Amino acid sequence: MKKRIIIDTDPGVDDALTFLLALASPEIQLEALTTVQGNVTLEKATRNALSVLEMAHAAHIPVARGCSHPLVKSPHASGEAVHGSSGMGHTDLPDPTSSIVETHAIDYLIERFLAEPKQISLFAIGPLTNVALAIRKEPRIVEAIQELVIMGGAIRSGGNVSPLAEFNIHEDPHAAHVVFHSGIPITLIPLDATYKCLLTSADVERLNKIDSPIARFVRDATAQYMEFYLKYEGFKGCALHDPLTLATIIAPELLTLEEHYVSVDISGGVSTGKTYADFMKVAKKPANMKVALDVKGREFVELFVERMERLMSLRGA
């Protein structure tokens, strides 16, 4: 049976690649997207969500617009250095012709999960603002979400937006705190694993042996992303942060998952947004999530490329 998922997202290049991977995967039924500010403004994130779905012939998938600001802090806006000013790198997708659903993302999530308790999983690949507010508005959503898979955090790894913190968690640490301690069954996919999944220019060239809008999109979307990584982090390629969340469905054997008590610093100091696991069990608190501390990265990237090839053949290239 297909796993039914809703993705809460701030697209973002790797967010867009996650939608494509979901559409390419026979194990997954993508039911909806909900948008949140993060990599780019809410307006751009929502436009990108609609445009990418249209490009992939999936405009029937509903998109609900969510929160334009984090709960407490100001938006960071550093994501545009990585993802381009539009959020979609060097791509030039036409304006979408489809529209968002009328309902705000918070209410949309509440309605969908309460209508079918424990039937749908939520994949959160942006700041956790929408998810936290849905929990606060309707606490029964905690019991209704089958599973919550989050791209976020840096457990043993350093941060990518501050020396200690990862972007999605740092962008709304208070929301992350609410979500982490909500009681929802959580799997966290932090930088410890995602930095091992590097899409290379050779992978992009392989895809572009087929003349397809999807291959061109992957090439144009990732070009700036790769330039950023080369300039600031010193390696060739780009990390498939958000797509790796889907490995929990399509290739769980590639992930090394451990159960831990994990929290996030919201003290306001230099480590704000830092996620930490109680490895030594000194807090004597029960585990609140599974955490991916390692992954067979190259195998996941190969799978990603194969799935993009599959999507191109499904869409008649």
Residues that bind ligand BDR (CB under 6 A): 12, 14-15, 39, 79, 82, 125-126, 151, 160, 166-168, 241-242
Question: Is the torsion defined by CA of 227, 228, 229, 231 positive or negative?
Answer: positive
Residue pair 189/246 in contact by the 8 Å Cβ criterion: no
What, of Ca ion, ligand BDR, none, does residue 108 touch, CB below 5 to 8 Å by kind? none
What, of ligand BDR, Ca ion, none, does residue 82 touch, CB below 5 to 8 Å by kind? ligand BDR
**CB of 195: closest distance to ligand BDR in angstroms?**
9
Task: Enter the DSSP assignment of 117.
Answer: T
What, of ligand BDR, Ca ion, none, does residue 260 touch, CB below 5 to 8 Å by kind? none
Taking the least distance from each CB to Ca ion, the nearer of 220 and 242 is 242
Q: Give catalytic residue positions.
A: 241
**CB of 222: closest distance to ligand BDR in angstroms?**
12
Taking the least distance from each CB to Ca ion, the nearer of 39 and 272 is 39
Closest residue (Cβ) to ligand BDR? 167
The binding site for Ca ion (CB under 5 A) comprises 10, 12, 15, 125-126, 242
**15/86 Cα distance (integer angstroms):** 13
The DSSP string of 238-305 is EE-TGGGGGHHHH-GGGEEEEEE-EEE--SSSTTTT-EEE-TT-TT-----EEEEEEE-HHHHHHHHH
Extract the tokens encoding 315. Answer: 């869409």
**CB of 24: closest distance to ligand BDR in angstroms?**
19
**CB of 296: closest distance to ligand BDR in angstroms?**
20
Q: What pairing do the DSSP bridges indicate for beta strands 198-199 and 238-239?
A: antiparallel
Taking the least distance from each CB to ligand BDR, the nearer of 168 and 222 is 168
Show Cβ contacts of residue 217 under 8 Å, excluding neighbours closer than 6 positions: 16, 20, 52, 55, 91, 93
